[in-house]
Structure 1
């Protein structure tokens, strides 16, 4: 029995002598460990998303135990969620746990510009623990190149270019509307719609109208998914001059030749009345002839 105890004592001494460094490392591994919840230091503090898309704000909490995780919107201190329960009437907000990564994620659906700002991920320890994430919302710009009023000759080919810039994601679709009705390219000899992605943040949709007719006149609207729209007014001319059309719509001069008549009345103050009236009528007739 004594011999067995001696062998055991020698074995322990052997382990101590030859495994001293390993034992020291083991002690170091257990020194300074967290004894409760803590935030993963690799968790991001900035999220950038595009207007109209879904945003996901992650919060990695290790060793959570029986503590709760809340999401709070900093600008108004509104509690959005506590664990999986939502405490705001806006159903765009929802929190869920990805257990494999200990990540509580706040989902914001169909992001709006006003959603930008700081969000607090809070753990119910004493005192409270907080991790802040800033949500940045990028608002794409949309425009139809050219003037808001376009004038083209009947029978010509027209290209309407709708350009969307600062777009992190390509729109799911871009629809064109003519006076409220969606433009469909059933006849490729009459209409074509092309979609191109340029660079990392620009999308261009081109509506091509071949052999334009008077029926093609009207309002054309470019409408991407989850974004604002842009419009242009197309005028298909049958020989008339655009300037003449615009002058015809001008309500500031309802009486033809009125300005020339006023000139004549001004001349009457310093010339014989018959001469002044003759000058005014002559100018009015010339104006009408030129407008035709």
Structure 2
């Protein structure tokens, strides 16, 4: 009797052996290397792959799990939302679901289903990252004339660097024709952060107004710039003049009727004198 021997594989040889024997499948099967998680950024395009080997004459459908809505069957789209489309990359036997201009509500699980009996399914979870944008500091910025102003627009949780970041002043785009007056600097920091800085040299009152940082495919952020001519910024923020109020002065000035009819310094001197006299009289009685 002829003896039959079987080869024994180890290490990398085993992997090659699996590839050679994949033809043993009698029908469609999912490539086990197909991903189960896709992360994309809000506003970009997402691509969900589904590798199906030996598909034959079977169909491939994509189904949105949250509402069981059939999105596509083969190359045909079955949803009114034209952001969804399926296409086949024949070289890799991959049916890919494309989701254009991803929205936050697109996040969730999607099912790649093959029309065998019973049905075969492969699930992929789509994660949507929403970038954050802000202009550092307070929403109102106060500076003196001839100051150098730096407005920093910081975008975080951004998987893709914005194609552009435009700055607008009261609705008009800021252009850096004269870099001795205005400059815009944009820098990528790490893997998910982009910073754009608008620098105004020798600020003037006409530079006051609303400044908006507007990246491509993202929300915008705004700040109000106030360029003051000869007044202290902190005083303007309080809506008062630059002189600090004297404790108790408001009550005394109201009682004496001095608040509106005398200069502030003279009125303050009178108030202090009156307070001293009151204290002296109270100690002698």
Same fold, judged at TM 0.5 (above): yes
DSSP 3-state at the match of 1:88:
coil
Aligned to 1:34: 25
TM-score, length-scaled by structure 2: 0.80
Match of 1:160 in 2: 151
Residue 279 in 1 paired to residue 268 in 2? no
Structure 1 residue 246, shift from structure 2 partner: 4.7
Asked if 1:241 is matched to 2:225, the reply is no
More helix by share: 1
The answer as to 2:184 corresponding to 1:193 is: yes
Give CA-to-partner distance per residue, 1:223-278, whole Å, 9 cap, x none.
Answer: 111111111000000012345545559xxxxxxxxx96xx68xxxxxxxxxxxx97
| Deviation for aligned residue 1:21 | 2.9
Q: Report the equivalent of 2:5.
A: 21
Matches within 5 A, 1:1-292: 20-21=4-5, 33-242=24-233, 244-246=235-237, 279-285=255-261
Q: Is the 8 A contact 2:144 2:233 kept in 1?
A: no
Please give the per-residue CA displacement for 1:21-42, whole angstroms capped at 9, x wherever unaligned: 369999xx76993211111111
Q: Give SS of 1:100's match.
A: helix
Separation (CA, whole Å) in 2 of partners of 1:49 and 1:204: 20
> Can you give the 5+ residue segments of structure 1 that lack an aligned partner in the other structure?
1-12, 250-258, 265-276
Give 1:89 deviation, angstroms: 1.3
Separation in structure 1 between the aligned mates of residue 199 and residue 7 of structure 2, nearest angstrom: 77
TM-score when normalising by structure 1: 0.78
Unpaired runs of at least 5, structure 2: 10-16, 241-248, 267-285
How many equivalent residue pairs? 249
Whole-Å separation in 2 of the counterparts to 1:42 and 1:120: 16
Deviation at 1:286, TM superposition (A): 6.3
Q: 1:158 to 1:33 in 2, by over 3 A?
A: same
Distance in 2 (CA, whole Å) between partners of 1:174 and 1:30 is: 53
Q: Identify if the C-alpha distance between structure 1 residues 280 and 131 changes in structure 2 by more than 3 Å, giving closer, same or farther.
A: farther
Q: Secondary structure at the match of 1:282?
A: coil
